[in-house]
Chain A
C-alpha cells in the first residue's frame, strides 16, 4: 500500500475533512433535512466516535464520509481526494484501495466461506497472495480453525470477527464502523471492540465509528455528538479510555 511512513497528525493534512455537509431527502410532500451544515476534520491515526440517537443522522453522515453516498451540499475530502467530485466508479476504486468497513449486521456473503469473505476485498484491490494474507488475519482474530465455515455456521461474534478481519485485510487508511457491537451481547461486544481497537492501533488506521453506546464511544480519542442533523464536539477528552 501507499502508506510507507506513519505521518504524525500535526504535520499532515487531515485524513477526513467535511465542509458544510448538508443532506436532504425529498419525500412525497416535503423535503426532510437529515444533516445540516456539518463541518468535521479527522486526523491520520485518530479514533473518532460519532454518538447519537436513532434517527439523529449519524448513519447518513458515515455513509457520506465513506463515499457510499453523495451530499446534497458541501464536500468531503478523504485522504486528499474530494469524494463529491469523483464518479461512482472512482469512488468504488477509492474504497477498494483505502477504506475498510465494519457493519452492525456483519454483511458477510452467505455463500462464501470465512476465508473467501476475507479474501474478497484483497482480490478486488488486486493485492497479491490474497489467501496468505487472509489466513494470517483470520488467525489474528482467533478463527484460524474456522476458515472453511460459511457465515451460517458461525456465531454472531465470530461473524463480526470475520468482518473485522475482512475490514483490515486490505490495510485501509481509514476504517468506518457502524454500530459494530450493536447486534452482539455485552461480553461478545466487549471482545469484538477490544479486537477492533487493538487492530486499529497495530495498523495505525484512522477509525471513524458510529454508535449509540457511550462506553464504546469512550474508547475513542475524540467523540462527536449528533442530534437532529447537527454535529457538536463537546470537549477533547485527551487520552482515550482503553
Chain B
C-alpha cells in the first residue's frame, strides 16, 4: 500500500536516534563479523598453503624400503587429474676440490617442487632468489657449507659416484626442509635423471623414494582411498604435517579471530536488542495513531517487518562496504610478510556468518518488541496506556539467547567457547540479581535530602529497574571487551614466551657419544652454550601388548608416528616444559618402563601398564608404559615421543646425541669452524623459519589489534544505545529538579555520583565475569595457564566509573544550559 511505503524510508528513519543506533549496530556487526571471517579464511588458506609447501606438495608418499613404487600408482594419480613429482634421497660420499665428504643427496624430477619454492644463490655473495624448479641434468646445487668444506667454487665439478656434475648454485633452502631431522649430512641437490649414471643406487642400497602429489582435495582423498589397500608398512602417506610451530601459531590466531568474531556477534546483538526495544517503545504513539486512522494489525505488522528488512539490507550493504576494504588491507599486510604470498581471495562463503548475524540480530532481537507493537491499543491516542511491564519480553529473550549462542556455536564451531561465554554471562546475571536485591533492601532506607550522595542513591533506587538493566548491559559489554583484551594479551605473551628473541635456532644432530663434551666445549667457548643434550636412538614401535601395532590400533587412525622411525631417548629428569599427566616419572635408579607423549598415547589408546615393543635395528625392546607426559612441540628444543630411563631398555644400543642452541646472525661464521672440526655433526639451521614465524606473528598481531578496535567500537555503540534509551527521562527529571529549586551544582554532583556508582558496579561485574570466561577459555581453547589479571580487575571498574560519570555530566548539558521552562516544553 502506498501509505505503508510512504512510512518507510531509511532516510526518514535515519532522523530517529534509535534507528541510527540500530543501523550503526548492524553495520558494525556485519563489518566485524565479515572482516574476521574473511581474514580467518585467508589465514586458513595461508596455513594450508604454507604447510603444503613444507611438503613441497599437498601429499607425499615415501617408500622407505628402497624400491620405487609401481608405475601404475603414478598413472592412476595422473588419471585422477593429480600433478605428480618424484625424488630420490640417499647418502653418499662426494669428491671435489680438495677432498671428500659424506652428503645427503636429493635427486628431483622436473616437476619438483609442486608447492613452494627453492631458495638458492648463484654464488656466495649473490642475492638469494626463489626458483620453482631444481637443477638441470648435469648440474648440482650444494649447501654453502659444503662449498667451504671442500673449498669448491661455483663452476667446479663435483663427483657423485661415477658422474661428474657441475656446481651451478648454492642451495639455501628446500621447501620441504621443515624441521625434519633426517637430513644428517650437508645437502646436495641434483636431477633425478642423473641418478642411474652415478651408479650409487643399487639393489639393497639405503634409498628413499619420495613421490609428490598435488591437486584438488577431493581428488587427493579419492586417490588415497584407492591407494590405501595396496600400501605396504614401509610406505608412508603424509598430508599436511601437524605439530609445525608455524601452523600452531596461525591456528591460535585463527581461534582468537573466531573468539573475537563471536564476541562481536554478541555485542552487536545486545546493541540491536537495546536500540530496537527503545525504538519500539517510541513507536507506540505512532502505531496508536495509525490504528486510529484505520490501519489494521496486519498492516502494522507488514509495515514494521518491511522496515526491518530495509534495515537489514542497509546494515548488510553498509557492513560489507566497511568490511571488504578492511579485509583487503589486513590480508595484504599478512601477504607482505609471507615468502610465498597467498592470493587474496574474497571467499563468498565467509560472508555467510555476517549475513546470519544480521538476520539473527534482527529477527531474534529486534523483531519481538516490534512485533508486539500491533497490540498497542488505539485508545492510546487519547490517553497514555500502561506500557510493557517487561514480563512479555522474557520468552522472547530466551529464544533470542538460544538463537545467538547457536549462532556463535555455528560460527566458531567450539562448544567450549559458547559454554565459557554463556557461563560468564550466567554468573554475571546471578551477581546482578544479588545486586538488585541489595539495591532494593539497602537503598530503600536512604531518604532524599540536600546531600548529593543521598540524592544519587535515591536516584539509583527510584530507577532501580532502569539502573539494573543499564548495569547489565554495561557489564556485559565490558565483560566481552575485557575477555577479548585478556585473551589477546595472554595470546601475545604466549607467542613471545614460545619464541623469545634467543629461542634456539640451530639443531646439532648426529653427535657421536665420544665427542659430546668437545662439541659442548666448542660452543661454550663461542659464548653460545647448548641446551640440554639428549641421546637419540631411531626405532619403530611395532607391537602393542604383544600384537602387531597396526592391528591393535583402529584402522581409521592415520598415525604418522607408526609409519616412520621414532626418535627414542633416555633421560634422567623430566624436561622443564614437559608435564606428567598420568603415572610417575622414573624413580632414581629405576631402569624399567617408558614414558609416552600424551597426544600419541591418546591416539593409540595407550594406558599405563600397556606393553610396547620397539624394533631398533635388529633388536627388539619391550617396556611397560609407566607415565604419560605432555610435550611443548613448539619449544624449539629436542622433543621425544618415547623416553626411557638411563640404563633402561635403550642401554647398549648405538646412540647419537642431539641438542639445540641459539646462534645470533653475527656469529653464523662460527659454523664453518665447527663443521671443519666436527665434520660428522649435522647442523640444522632453522633461524630463517623462526624469524619468518616472528614476522607473521607480528602481522597477525596487528590484524588482531585492528579487529579488537572494531569490536571496541561495537561496545561503544552498545553504550550509546543504552544511554540514548534513558536520555529523555533523565533530562526531564533534571529540568524538574531545577524548576523545583535544585541548585545546578547539586544536580551535577548527584548525577555524576549516580553514574559513577552505576559504572563502578558494571565494571566490577564485567571484569569478574570476564575472568570467569577467560579462565574457562584458557584451558579449553588456548592451552595456556590462568592467572588473575590484576592489571584489569582494578582499573576497569575505576575507568568505567569515571567514564560513566562524565557521560552523565555530558547528558545533563542541555538541562543546565537552557531555562527549565523551555526544556520541559521541549521534552513534552
Q: Mark A residues whose CB is within 8 Å of B.
A: 59-60, 62-63, 66, 68-69, 88-89, 92-97, 99, 101, 103, 107, 109, 111-112, 116, 119-121, 123-126, 130, 178
**A101 touching B381, Cβ below 8 Å:** yes
**A121 touching B294, Cβ below 8 Å:** yes
A sample of 17 more A-B contacts (CB under 8 A), given A59-B382, A96-B294, A111-B7, is A59-B383, A62-B382, A68-B378, A69-B377, A92-B294, A92-B295, A92-B378, A93-B296, A99-B294, A107-B285, A107-B381, A111-B13, A111-B15, A119-B6, A121-B293, A123-B3, A178-B382
Contact of A63 among B1, B12, B13, B379 (CB under 8 A): B379
Asked whether any CB of chain A lies closer than 8 Å to the CB of B632, the reply is: no
Assess A63 versus B289: contact at CB under 8 Å? Given A93-B294, A124-B295: no
Bound CA span A107–B287, Å: 11
Bound CA span A95–B379, Å: 13
Which chain A residues lie closer than 8 Å to B2 at the CB level? 123, 130
Which chain B residues lie closer than 8 Å to A59 at the CB level? 382-383
Chain A residue nearest to B16 in the complex (CB): A111
Asked whether any CB of chain A lies closer than 8 Å to the CB of B291, the reply is: yes
Which chain B residues lie closer than 8 Å to A69 at the CB level? 377-379
Which chain A residues lie closer than 8 Å to B15 at the CB level? 111
Fill in one digit per residue for B262-295: 1 if any A CB lies within 8 Å of its CB, else 0: 0000000000000000000000011001111111
| Nearest CB on A from B5, distance (A) | 9
Fill in one digit per residue for B589-632: 1 if any A CB lies within 8 Å of its CB, else 0: 00000000000000000000000000000000000000000000
| Nearest CB on A from B8, distance (A) | 10
Which chain A residues lie closer than 8 Å to B16 at the CB level? 111
**A125 touching B294, Cβ below 8 Å:** yes
Asked whether any CB of chain A lies closer than 8 Å to the CB of B297, the reply is: yes
Asked whether any CB of chain A lies closer than 8 Å to the CB of B298, the reply is: yes
Output the residue of B6, B289, B292, B381 with the most chain A CB within 10 A.
B292
Which chain A residues lie closer than 8 Å to B13 at the CB level? 111
| Nearest CB on A from B202, distance (A) | 90
Which chain B residues lie closer than 8 Å to A95 at the CB level? 292-294, 378
Which chain A residues lie closer than 8 Å to B378 at the CB level? 68-69, 92, 95
- Give 7 CB contacts A-B under 8 Å: A59-B383, A92-B295, A92-B296, A95-B294, A107-B292, A124-B295, A124-B299
Total inter-chain residue pairs, C-beta < 8 Å? 84
Q: Mark B residues whose CB is within 8 Å of A.
A: 1-3, 6-7, 12-13, 15-16, 285-286, 289-299, 377-379, 381-383
Bound CA span A121–B1, Å: 12
Specify the main secondary structure of chain B where it touches its partner.
helix
Chain A residue nearest to B285 in the complex (CB): A107
**B289 touching A68, Cβ below 8 Å:** no
Bound CA span A89–B300, Å: 11
Bound CA span A114–B37, Å: 47
Bound CA span A126–B295, Å: 11
**B289 touching A89, Cβ below 8 Å:** no
Assess A124 versus B381: contact at CB under 8 Å? Given A68-B292, A95-B294: no
Which chain B residues lie closer than 8 Å to A126 at the CB level? 1
**3 tightest Cβ-Cβ pairs between the two chains A and B:** A96-B294, A123-B3, A89-B296
Which chain A residues lie closer than 8 Å to B12 at the CB level? 111-112
**B382 touching A109, Cβ below 8 Å:** no
Chain A residue nearest to B385 in the complex (CB): A69
Bound CA span A170–B297, Å: 20
**A120 touching B292, Cβ below 8 Å:** no
Bound CA span A99–B378, Å: 14
Contact of A89 among B285, B290, B298, B382 (CB under 8 A): B298
**B291 touching A92, Cβ below 8 Å:** yes
**B382 touching A96, Cβ below 8 Å:** no
Bound CA span A96–B13, Å: 25
Which chain B residues lie closer than 8 Å to A97 at the CB level? 294
**B295 touching A96, Cβ below 8 Å:** yes
Chain A residue nearest to B3 in the complex (CB): A123
**B294 touching A124, Cβ below 8 Å:** yes
Bound CA span A62–B7, Å: 28
Assess A124 versus B3: contact at CB under 8 Å? Given A111-B15, A111-B16: yes
Bound CA span A111–B292, Å: 18
Which chain A residues lie closer than 8 Å to B7 at the CB level? 109, 111-112
| Nearest CB on B from A181, distance (A) | 16
Which chain A residues lie closer than 8 Å to B290 at the CB level? 120, 124
Bound CA span A103–B285, Å: 13
Chain B residue nearest to A103 in the complex (CB): B381
Assess A68 versus B382: contact at CB under 8 Å? Given A109-B286, A112-B6, A120-B3: yes
**A89 touching B297, Cβ below 8 Å:** yes
Contact of A103 among B286, B379, B382 (CB under 8 A): B382
| Nearest CB on A from B265, distance (A) | 31
Bound CA span A184–B293, Å: 23
Chain A residue nearest to B375 in the complex (CB): A88
Bound CA span A88–B299, Å: 12
Which chain A residues lie closer than 8 Å to B291 at the CB level? 92
**B6 touching A120, Cβ below 8 Å:** yes
| Nearest CB on A from B392, distance (A) | 18
**A63 touching B293, Cβ below 8 Å:** no
Bound CA span A66–B292, Å: 9
**B379 touching A124, Cβ below 8 Å:** no
Chain A residue nearest to B9 in the complex (CB): A111
| Nearest CB on B from A131, distance (A) | 10
Contact of B293 among A88, A89, A96, A130 (CB under 8 A): A96
Bound CA span A99–B291, Å: 12
**B382 touching A123, Cβ below 8 Å:** no
Which chain B residues lie closer than 8 Å to A89 at the CB level? 296-298
Bound CA span A109–B288, Å: 11
**A107 touching B297, Cβ below 8 Å:** no
**A68 touching B3, Cβ below 8 Å:** no
Which chain B residues lie closer than 8 Å to A123 at the CB level? 1-3, 6
Which chain B residues lie closer than 8 Å to A121 at the CB level? 293-294
Assess A88 versus B382: contact at CB under 8 Å? Given A69-B377, A120-B6: no
Which chain B residues lie closer than 8 Å to A130 at the CB level? 2
Which chain A residues lie closer than 8 Å to B379 at the CB level? 63, 68-69
| Nearest CB on B from A188, distance (A) | 16
Assess A101 versus B3: contact at CB under 8 Å? Given A88-B297, A111-B15: no
Bound CA span A126–B378, Å: 20
Bound CA span A107–B384, Å: 13
Which chain B residues lie closer than 8 Å to A103 at the CB level? 381-382
Which chain B residues lie closer than 8 Å to A99 at the CB level? 294
Bound CA span A97–B383, Å: 23
Which chain B residues lie closer than 8 Å to A92 at the CB level? 291, 294-297, 378
Bound CA span A123–B299, Å: 12
Bound CA span A131–B1, Å: 15
Chain B residue nearest to A116 in the complex (CB): B6
Contact of A107 among B1, B289, B296, B377 (CB under 8 A): B289
Which chain A residues lie closer than 8 Å to B6 at the CB level? 112, 116, 119-120, 123
Bound CA span A178–B383, Å: 11
| Nearest CB on A from B546, distance (A) | 81
Chain A residue nearest to B293 in the complex (CB): A121
Bound CA span A60–B383, Å: 9
Which chain A residues lie closer than 8 Å to B1 at the CB level? 123-124, 126
Which chain B residues lie closer than 8 Å to A94 at the CB level? 294
Assess A101 versus B292: contact at CB under 8 Å? Given A111-B12, A123-B6: yes
| Nearest CB on B from A177, distance (A) | 11
Bound CA span A125–B2, Å: 11
Chain B residue nearest to A100 in the complex (CB): B293
Bound CA span A220–B804, Å: 57
| Nearest CB on B from A109, distance (A) | 6
Bound CA span A95–B293, Å: 6
Bound CA span A69–B299, Å: 19
Bound CA span A212–B12, Å: 37
| Nearest CB on B from A129, distance (A) | 11
Assess A63 versus B382: contact at CB under 8 Å? Given A116-B6, A120-B6, A124-B293: yes
Chain B residue nearest to A99 in the complex (CB): B294
| Nearest CB on A from B157, distance (A) | 88
Chain A residue nearest to B12 in the complex (CB): A111
| Nearest CB on B from A70, distance (A) | 10
